[in-house]
Structure 1
Amino acid sequence: MRLAPEQLISAATLAAVLAGVAAVWLATHAPSLGLVWSVADDRVMVAPRPDRPAPAGLSEPRAVTALEGGGQRLAIQPGDLTPEPDVTHNAMADYRGFMARQGHLATAMRAPDARLHTAGGAVLETPPQATRPLSALHWSFWLQLICGALGLITGAAVWAYRQNDAAAAYYALTGISLAAAAISAAVYSTRELALSREVFGWLTVCNKAGTLLYTAGFIAVLWHYPQRLGRFPLGPLLVVSYALLTLAVLRYWLPSMDLAVRLPVLVGFCGAIVLGVIQWRRSRGRPLARAGLRWFLFSWFFGSSLFLVLVFVPPLFGVNAASAQGPAFLLLLIIHLALAAGILRYRLFELDRWWSHAWLLAVSGLLVCALDLLLIHLLGLAGPIALSLSLALIGWLYFPLRQWLWSWLADLGRAAPTPLVQRVTEVLARPEDEPDVAWRVLLKQLYEPQEIHPARDLSRDAVSEGGLALDVAGAAPAGGLRLRYCRRGTRLFRADDLALLADLRQLFDQVLAYRQRLQDAVNSERDRVARDLHDDVGARLLTLAQTLEPAAAERARAALDEMRAVVRSMHVRRWPLAVLLDDWRAEVAERCEAADIALDWSVPAEIPDQDLDGVAALDLSRILREVVSNAIRHAAPDHLQVVIACDERGMDLAISHAYSGDDPGTWRPSLGLVNLRERSARLGGGITWQATDGWLHARWSTAWTALTADSPRMEVAAATPDAQAGG
């Protein structure tokens, strides 16, 4: 049965409140003498509380050696005040004896005749207090209480909205475990001196159960998140195994707390590392899953590593770190909240941005702190000379080294600035690319998206789909674009990508405007040169052709036609195919008439509505002129047939005439033939000659994409001598 999320969250909140109330009741009703207890120089010290009258003879802190009450006298040891008994009493037999001793101390503290014996032999009358005031509770009590309550509520909130998600269910288990471990520890770690054996025993069992099940729950989460690694029921098996370890703690089955708690947690930590590596490899190419996993792993491994270093590892080497457990629960809470952000995938495109910075800050902070501790250890000297030496080393060597280390670590996480100016200028330096095409090329270079889709209804730039997509607004009619899967799916789009896009758009518009102004200046100068050629040189060639002998006049007219073609190619506007076909027919008809050759001109009934680029039109004109010239010069036919055909791919041209010469396959390559083949290839086609039944057929073709592209091929626009070269 699926419960409403509000019901689950309300139930978890109520449970957290009830657990907090129970913890406060247990803490305030624990045995109390109304004193402040501490350990100094391996001696137990007591002092009066500032909010109540001091007992007789206790005007200042004093060392105490024994507690007397209820007919028994018990020596007081520094270990009695330990916040975490399994740290100072690792062996299970010692731990069991500590619990029995706590029971005896609690009984003595509740006796009406309770008194303390000082190190000087004095006796302090300290009658038991009915309750401890809230002000007597240590700040770490409230910290652990808050950590446990927030852990429980957060776990329930995540599971409430993902009740069919196994990862969310095991995450809820970690929330319950964190609450059990933190709230129980809040009571016994802030006791005044002792708790009854039953209360203390159950509180420690709850603490150990919470710690073990937290580990089991987290490993199970990694087995299922972001994808399940297999069908093996690892989660239930882990929960049962760690629950049995809790039973072993309760029944004192194992010889030490290391075997019962610390080592299983460390083994679970290592297992989580293995699962984390596997999940990392499996999430390759899935940026949303990878982003969630990044925060998941960072929060767990960094926070857990600190928790283990502060709480679990020191006892393995005989170091007492019991006082660190209370504040260390704050690390577990931070882990827990970060895990929630990963599982819920809440604004991962923003979390993903800070992931590398978080690691940088964490690692660099640890290294700098380690350097500080190393310096303190190495310079742990005494005396004026040692002090002077220390100050000199710190001022001249340590501080510069420390600053260099911090700067070096910071540079590791800083990405090199993107050379936007260079990229924009390189793309817009190709005038054959339309602005829309250049814009798409830039977006591909900067973001390397796996997909780009048109999106016409975008009014502003934005990160969408949880960071999977970047919406790039655009003006009509082209509209906007939606880029998906940044860096080919290796990361999410982030907020700084929007800032980069804004800078790119501004720079692109500026460079595009400059390119347009430059192009306008070039076109203006080209038009001026074209007018001068047409009005001056053209008029002189026409006059010359009218006054020369026929052979020389033919060469003058050829030069005039070549100049006209060059002038046409220099114009900015495109040339309609129908107009060019008319020009070509007029030129060929004029040359055939001068050579007394009959012309058969064939074009499609419906000429395609295509506008040819000026340079492409010049190349086609030169091919046509060269083939006609070769036919007139070498074959001297009485009939010339020109057939032009068009389809959706491009245009095919064929010139046929009578021929009695050598087979085209035996022709000696000449400059004219080479130029014809190069021009035809440049237009996306090829030219061939075939002799059949006394006729020679020259055929060439070209694609519309080559004829209509704005290509900067002005190097071929200049007049060349191959118009007169033999074929």
Structure 2
Amino acid sequence: MPHAEPSAVLPRVSPAALLVAGLGLAVAGIAVCLWLSLRQPWLGLTPYVPDNGPGLIVAEDTGDWRLLALAAPGGERMDLAARDLLEEPDFLRTYAEYADFLARQDRLHAILSGDRLVLYPATGPPREVRPSRNRPLASLPAAFWFQLAFAVICLGIATAVWAFRRDRAGTLFGITGLGLFVVGLSAAVYSTRELALSADLFRALAVANHGGGMLFSGAFVATLWHYPNRLTALPAARLSFVVFGIVWVLDSVWWLPNVDAGFRYPLLIGLVFTMVLAVEQWRRLDSPVDRAAMRWFAFAWFAGSSLFVSLMFLPVLFGGSPIFPQSYSFGLLLPIYAGVAAGVARYRLFQLERWWYPTLAGFAALLAVLLATPLVAQVTRWPQSWALLAVIAAAGWIYFPLRVWLGRRRARRRRARDLPLLGDALDVLFNPRHESGRDALWRGLLERAFSPMEIRRERDSSARIRVSADGSTLWTPAEDGLPGYSLRWPDRGARLFDDADLRLVETLLPLTAYASDLRGAWEAGAAAERARIKTDLEDDLAARLYEQILRAGSDEIADAARGALAEVRLLIDQLDAGRRPAAEAIDDWRAQIADLCEQGGVALAWRQYGEMPARDLGPQARANPLRILREALANALAHSRPTHIEVAVATGGDDIGLTMEYDSDAEAPSRWEVGRGLLNMQARARQLGGELRWSQPEPGRIRLECRLRLELGT
């Protein structure tokens, strides 16, 4: 996908530090929720809404009974109603109903906060009871822990994305997780109350809940405006947050017509708008992989949000009740984040790779504690407080020794990595036998030195070693044949690049200068050996072949000796490591092809046009075109019996085009059986970045065409 817009948010914070901060925020949020929930007065009742009739039903092991009202001793009796156990005040339609609900909650909470109160059952005399000042931890229901788990999951995945994607899209997605984190925590407190909360606390939690929802919607609209491409130059992120922020403020002070206009309608409009943005983003993507990623991302978002809206919002808008308890309906939003996690593994959403999963380990541990606590309590029938202590103790006994062991193992691995590092550097830089693979060896050396999450070869490499402003990236320059690289997130994201890393690269790079001298000496020795072989060929083998030509008893033997002598001369030319002007090489090609045509009794028409290449040609760039022309000519003489051959050489820039055309009584090239000669010609063309194209422009004529890149010839 295209490069995303950079973000200046937390530029110098390492991924590990940001993940730890997110984990700390999760722990702090859970602690606040526990404090708010446990400091409430508690009767020890389990009330629920009856199917019909007044009051509430209280569940007990000895049998359920109906509670009609309660009152402070000597105070006015307050009748109970089903709406007192309303899980979510958003189910109310008007602000007047909302205000009445909060007033009843405040009155009930005041009665519960007294030293004593009176219960009025449907049958039997009133009962005077003493409420507990604090709610026991064991009384918190599974719905409470489920909503905390939902909040932690959303915050964990969003923080992981934000930690490693420091651009606008990653930041906005991180904010969506923060919004859902606030939604889950606030709802966990008021939706699992025993009977009532104070109006001030309930109102504050409800406002925070709406604020988290608006923050999530605004951030998700902004995310799809910027991911994977920015749709317009408008400041969409700011505009989205401003619009949803204004709605939240107006809803908080009850200045909108009703609760629907203050909460449900804005969220529905945001959902529809994100659908439109997703379609537009998908239309602008060209790559099939990018489109698949966008489809997966959009499916995860729309599946979860649409299910939530269908089960929770639409029934209320049509005057009914939610189909599913809200405490567990938050699980319908998890496909958004689970889908992103699956998309990372399948389509690399947000450009996260395999290191995505270790970043969630801390959140997974916290989530495991939250999920294991009610499970242990149910299996062992312990109070939840005992179960929580047992789970935390077990986690400590397992997690901390395991962490120490892994830390020591990592330290040993780091020492084992650092000690042979200099030896590897010397092997990479000074061993001439590694010349052809020095790029891969240098890359491996950088990977061992820094363990980056991502390493990429740079075409336009930096002229010096430098680190990005946010400490996430280090660039190495290209020196002495070594390519330049960019490295991101050292030690798998556990830290940022610093001055020590610059000094390490500065230590390794000067070795390339000394390595150059060593390779120069090795190449000088190789050049001397090539010169000796070249002299032997010129003075011995070439002389013997020339003598064979002079003493040949027939034209056939003389022609064969001339062909062998031409091949020896070509070998001698290739042993000359120096470069020669292109004009000189082309003249040699023409002379040799002309000799072969003369020997074969075929007329040659040689045409040459275009500007001569400015660069001199190396041995391969001189030999391969000639070998292709010679093999094509030999093929024509052997199979087509031509009378006239046309050769055209087109030059321009660093490329050269070769064309050979001749009359032929052979079949069309498409029906030829590919033999060793044709394969050799194709291989030589590919060495110079070309392909051979045989054709029959008209009946009785054969044409060969190819275009070669001379700069590839060494």
**TM-score for both structures, normalised by structure 1:** 0.50
Identify which of 610, 621, 627 aligns with 2:630: 610
In 2 relative to 1, CA 323–133 (structure 1 residues): closer, same or farther, beyond 3 Å?
A: farther
Q: Do residues 66 (structure 1) and 69 (structure 2) align?
A: yes
Identify which of 9, 16, 19 aligns with 1:6: 16
For 2:240 and 2:144, locate their aligned partners in 1 and report how far apart those are by CA, in whole Å: 30
Q: Which position in structure 1 is the counterpart of 2:258?
A: 256
Where 2:98 maps in the other structure, the secondary structure is helix
Deviations 1:283-329 (A, max 9, x none): 12363x33432222111111100010111111001111175211121
In 2 relative to 1, CA 323–703 (structure 1 residues): closer, same or farther, beyond 3 Å?
A: closer
For 1:351 and 1:228, locate their aligned partners in 2 and report how far apart those are by CA, in whole Å: 14
Q: Which position in structure 2 is the counterpart of 1:306?
A: 307
For 1:323 and 1:608, locate their aligned partners in 2 and report how far apart those are by CA, in whole Å: 77
> Is the 8 Å Cα contact of residues 639 and 666 (structure 2) preserved in structure 1?
no
Q: Do residues 136 (structure 1) and 139 (structure 2) align?
A: yes
Q: Which position in structure 2 is the counterpart of 1:80?
A: 84
> Is the 8 Å Cα contact of residues 56 and 81 (structure 2) preserved in structure 1?
no
In 2 relative to 1, CA 166–602 (structure 1 residues): closer, same or farther, beyond 3 Å?
A: closer
In 2 relative to 1, CA 65–652 (structure 1 residues): closer, same or farther, beyond 3 Å?
A: closer
For 1:155 and 1:351, locate their aligned partners in 2 and report how far apart those are by CA, in whole Å: 11
- Write out aligned runs for 1:225-374 (5 A): 225-285=227-287, 287=289, 289-321=290-322, 323-339=324-340, 345-348=344-347
For 1:240 and 1:214, locate their aligned partners in 2 and report how far apart those are by CA, in whole Å: 13
Q: Which position in structure 1 is the counterpart of 2:102?
A: 99
- Write out aligned runs for 1:445-524 (5 A): none
> Is the 8 Å Cα contact of residues 144 and 185 (structure 1) preserved in structure 2?
yes
Deviations 1:133-169 (A, max 9, x none): 2221111110111111222233233222233x11122
Q: Which position in structure 2 is the counterpart of 1:147?
A: 150
> Is the 8 Å Cα contact of residues 170 and 350 (structure 2) preserved in structure 1?
no
> Is the 8 Å Cα contact of residues 158 and 178 (structure 2) preserved in structure 1?
yes
RMSD across aligned positions (CA): 4.1
In 2 relative to 1, CA 686–34 (structure 1 residues): closer, same or farther, beyond 3 Å?
A: closer
- Write out aligned runs for 1:38-57 (5 A): 38-43=48-53, 44-47=55-58
Select between 177-186 and 315-324 the one with higher mean Cα deviation.
315-324
- Write out aligned runs for 1:486-565 (5 A): none
For 1:19 and 1:349, locate their aligned partners in 2 and report how far apart those are by CA, in whole Å: 30
For 1:645 and 1:7, locate their aligned partners in 2 and report how far apart those are by CA, in whole Å: 72
> Is the 8 Å Cα contact of residues 158 and 172 (structure 1) preserved in structure 2?
yes
Identify which of 204, 207, 212 aligns with 2:206: 204
For 2:135 and 2:604, locate their aligned partners in 1 and report how far apart those are by CA, in whole Å: 109
Identify which of 35, 59, 71 aligns with 2:45: 35
Q: Do residues 17 (structure 1) and 27 (structure 2) align?
A: yes
For 2:308 and 2:273, locate their aligned partners in 1 and report how far apart those are by CA, in whole Å: 17
> Is the 8 Å Cα contact of residues 653 and 701 (structure 1) preserved in structure 2?
yes
Where 1:226 maps in the other structure, the secondary structure is coil
Which protein is bigger by CA-based radius of gyration? 1
For 2:241 and 2:33, locate their aligned partners in 1 and report how far apart those are by CA, in whole Å: 26
Q: Which position in structure 2 is the counterpart of 1:566?
A: none
- Write out aligned runs for 1:649-660 (5 A): 649=658
> Is the 8 Å Cα contact of residues 340 and 349 (structure 2) preserved in structure 1?
no
- Write out aligned runs for 1:163-242 (5 A): 163=166, 165-242=167-244
> Is the 8 Å Cα contact of residues 608 and 646 (structure 1) preserved in structure 2?
no
Q: Which position in structure 2 is the counterpart of 1:570?
A: none
Q: Which position in structure 2 is the counterpart of 1:432?
A: none
Letter in 2 for 1:318: G
Letter in 2 for 1:90: R
In 2 relative to 1, CA 206–645 (structure 1 residues): closer, same or farther, beyond 3 Å?
A: closer
Letter in 2 for 1:93: A
Where 2:46 maps in the other structure, the secondary structure is strand
> Is the 8 Å Cα contact of residues 310 and 325 (structure 1) preserved in structure 2?
no
In 2 relative to 1, CA 618–256 (structure 1 residues): closer, same or farther, beyond 3 Å?
A: same
In 2 relative to 1, CA 616–203 (structure 1 residues): closer, same or farther, beyond 3 Å?
A: same
Letter in 2 for 1:136: S
1:341 CA displacement = 6.1
Where 1:72 maps in the other structure, the secondary structure is coil
1:217 CA displacement = 0.8
Deviations 1:326-374 (A, max 9, x none): 11212223313434665xx55516999xxxxxxxxxxxxxxxxxxxxxx
For 1:653 and 1:277, locate their aligned partners in 2 and report how far apart those are by CA, in whole Å: 57
Letter in 2 for 1:69: A
For 2:196 and 2:109, locate their aligned partners in 1 and report how far apart those are by CA, in whole Å: 5
In 2 relative to 1, CA 279–578 (structure 1 residues): closer, same or farther, beyond 3 Å?
A: same
Percent identity between matched residues is: 33
Letter in 2 for 1:215: S
Letter in 2 for 1:73: R
Where 2:303 maps in the other structure, the secondary structure is helix
Select between 8-17 and 297-306 the one with higher mean Cα deviation.
8-17
Identify which of 114, 120, 125 aligns with 1:111: 114
Q: Which position in structure 1 is the counterpart of 2:382?
A: none
> Is the 8 Å Cα contact of residues 39 and 135 (structure 2) preserved in structure 1?
yes
For 1:277 and 1:686, locate their aligned partners in 2 and report how far apart those are by CA, in whole Å: 49
Letter in 1 for 2:216: Y
Paired residue total? 411
> Is the 8 Å Cα contact of residues 38 and 134 (structure 2) preserved in structure 1?
yes
Letter in 2 for 1:307: F
For 2:247 and 2:130, locate their aligned partners in 1 and report how far apart those are by CA, in whole Å: 41
Deviations 1:21-40 (A, max 9, x none): 11112112223210111122
Q: Which position in structure 2 is the counterpart of 1:703?
A: 703
1:681 CA displacement = 13
For 1:608 and 1:213, locate their aligned partners in 2 and report how far apart those are by CA, in whole Å: 68
Q: Which position in structure 2 is the counterpart of 1:160?
A: 163
In 2 relative to 1, CA 27–322 (structure 1 residues): closer, same or farther, beyond 3 Å?
A: farther
For 2:170 and 2:595, locate their aligned partners in 1 and report how far apart those are by CA, in whole Å: 72
Where 2:49 maps in the other structure, the secondary structure is strand
> Is the 8 Å Cα contact of residues 42 and 112 (structure 2) preserved in structure 1?
yes
Letter in 2 for 1:703: R
In 2 relative to 1, CA 193–644 (structure 1 residues): closer, same or farther, beyond 3 Å?
A: closer
In 2 relative to 1, CA 653–68 (structure 1 residues): closer, same or farther, beyond 3 Å?
A: closer
Q: Which position in structure 1 is the counterpart of 2:36?
A: 26
In 2 relative to 1, CA 113–10 (structure 1 residues): closer, same or farther, beyond 3 Å?
A: same
- Write out aligned runs for 1:547-696 (5 A): 610-611=630-631, 620-621=640-641, 649=658
In 2 relative to 1, CA 644–146 (structure 1 residues): closer, same or farther, beyond 3 Å?
A: closer
For 1:97 and 1:680, locate their aligned partners in 2 and report how far apart those are by CA, in whole Å: 92
Deviations 1:623-655 (A, max 9, x none): 75xxxxxxxxxxxxxxxxxx766566566779x
Letter in 1 for 2:304: G
> Is the 8 Å Cα contact of residues 103 and 196 (structure 1) preserved in structure 2?
yes
For 1:238 and 1:231, locate their aligned partners in 2 and report how far apart those are by CA, in whole Å: 14
Letter in 1 for 2:47: W
For 2:670 and 2:32, locate their aligned partners in 1 and report how far apart those are by CA, in whole Å: 89
For 1:176 and 1:579, locate their aligned partners in 2 and report how far apart those are by CA, in whole Å: 81
In 2 relative to 1, CA 10–608 (structure 1 residues): closer, same or farther, beyond 3 Å?
A: closer
> Is the 8 Å Cα contact of residues 32 and 131 (structure 1) preserved in structure 2?
yes
Instruction: Specify every segment of 5 or more residues in structure 1 that has no aligned partner in the other structure, as ranges.
Output: 51-58, 353-455, 458-464, 467-575, 586-600, 625-642, 655-674, 689-699, 707-727
